[in-house]
Amino acid sequence: MTNTSPSSAIELYIQGVATGNAEALNAAFHPDARMFGALGDQRVDIPIQDMIGMISAQPADVDGQFSASIKKIDEFGDIATAIVE
């Protein structure tokens, strides 16, 4: 990952999720990053490379109906958190 703004990195993430594009996802995250969140009722805490593998195997936009948008970004120095729906 290069020195990318949080909103640019999140847009790469959204693109990667939609298309299964591992290159976009790798550009969005530091190689040592972890993904925290929830899938339904299940808590998620996995290495980013595991998540990229799952997304690449099953892109979200299989029927042209996928949409996602950035709802909130909080920045703390060189760390950022985001809510994407």
22 and 56 in contact (C-beta within 8 Å)? yes
pLDDT of residue 1: 56
- The predicted pLDDT at position 7 comes to 94
Look at residue 52 in the predicted model and tell me its pLDDT: 98
Domain residue limits, the chain:
6-84
- At 79 the pLDDT is 86
The pTM assigned to this predicted structure is 0.84
Q: What is the pLDDT of residue 45?
A: 96
Structural Rg of the chain based on CA atoms? 12
What pLDDT is recorded for position 47? 98
Residues of the chain with pLDDT under 50: none
Query: Which class does domain 6-84 fall in?
Result: alpha beta
Residues 6+ apart with CB under 8 A from 14: 68, 69, 70, 84
**In the prediction, which pLDDT does 2 show?**
58
